[in-house]
């Protein structure tokens, strides 16, 4: 999977259109329930466990930030 494919996952789960993967989820209009649903879907899809703090930082709580967090977990470079 790559960033554009990951963006499609975000769009499907959150019912939004991702035009810039750097845009924070909140600015895309994603509410807290969809954010949690997205986090759960990501964890299930990629078999990773993301720390909820990734959602606290707007730079991380974007499609690009979440994709980076997934990649870090999968390669063992995350915490």
Whole-number pLDDT of residue 1:
85
- Tokens 């750097």 correspond to 22
Whole-number pLDDT of residue 24:
94
pTM assigned to the model = 0.87
Which one of 1.10.10.10, 1.20.1090.10, 3.40.50.1370, 1.10.1200.10 gives the CATH number of domain 3-75?
Answer: 1.10.1200.10
Would you give per-residue pLDDT tens digits along the chain (79 residues)? 899 999 999 999 999 999 999 999 999 999 999 999 999 999 999 999 988 888 888 778 999 999 999 999 988 865 5
- Burial label, 44 (beta-carbon count in 10 A; 0-12, 13-18, 19+): exposed
DSSP assignment letter at 19: S
Q: Where are the domains of the chain?
A: 3-75
Whole-number pLDDT of residue 52:
82
Whole-number pLDDT of residue 25:
95
């Amino acid at each position: 999977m790559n960033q554009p494919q990951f963006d499609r996952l975000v769009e499907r789960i959150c019912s939004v259109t991702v035009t810039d993967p750097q845009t924070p989820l909140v600015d895309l209009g994603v509410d807290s329930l969809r954010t949690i649903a997205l986090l759960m879907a990501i964890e299930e899809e990629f078999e990773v466990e993301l720390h909820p703090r990734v959602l606290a930082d707007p730079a991380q709580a974007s499609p690009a930030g979440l994709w980076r967090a997934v990649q870090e977990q999968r390669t063992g470079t995350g915490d």
